[in-house]
Amino acid sequence: MCFWYMEALDAEPVQNMAIPLSYSETDPIPGGCNLEFDLDIDPNIYLQYDFFETTIKFAPANLGYARGTESPPCDVSTGQDTRWRLQYDVYQYFLPENDLTEEVLLKHLQRMAEVPHVTANAVKVNSPTLLI
């Protein structure tokens, strides 16, 4: 069971959205092989952009594992039974222009919450090769 509490400091109504996603021990752990950023497991995506290019930085995922067991090592080998078998696909999705309402934002976040929705609604722009 999970409890979430939300508090607003003023009397204005606040909208929120929770998208619970269940994962199994065979699903990758986003950011599970983090060796660069501040968190031990860092599932965040860091974007830097200017007029000419957008740079995406993220910690590599690790293979999934059963609760209560040790996580697979990240950089012991590069075989097919390691995290190196994971493939990363980058998709691009634009929010509609001139509508900054919460309703529109939440609606479009839902369109990008699960893989089938991403592939149906966004444009695949790249499948990067990770540098060692």
Per-residue 3-state assignment (H helix, E strand, C coil) for the chain: CCCCCCCCCCCCCCCCCCCCCCCCCCCCECCCCCCCCCCCCCCCEEEEECCCCEEEEECCCECCCCCCCCCCCCCCCCCCCCHHHCCCCEEECCCCCCCCCHHHHHHHHHCCCCHHHHHHHCEEEECCCCCC
CA–CA gap between residue 107 and residue 91 (Å, rounded): 18
CA-atom Rg of the chain in angstroms: 18
Each residue's pLDDT expressed in tens, for the chain with a length of 132 residues: 677 777 788 888 777 777 777 788 888 999 998 888 888 889 999 999 999 988 888 999 999 888 889 888 888 878 787 888 888 899 999 999 999 888 898 899 889 988 999 999 999 988 776 554
Q: What pLDDT score does 121 carry?
A: 95
Q: What is the pTM of this model?
A: 0.71
Residue 111 CB burial class (10 angstroms; 0-12, 13-18, ≥19): middle
Q: What pLDDT score does 108 carry?
A: 92
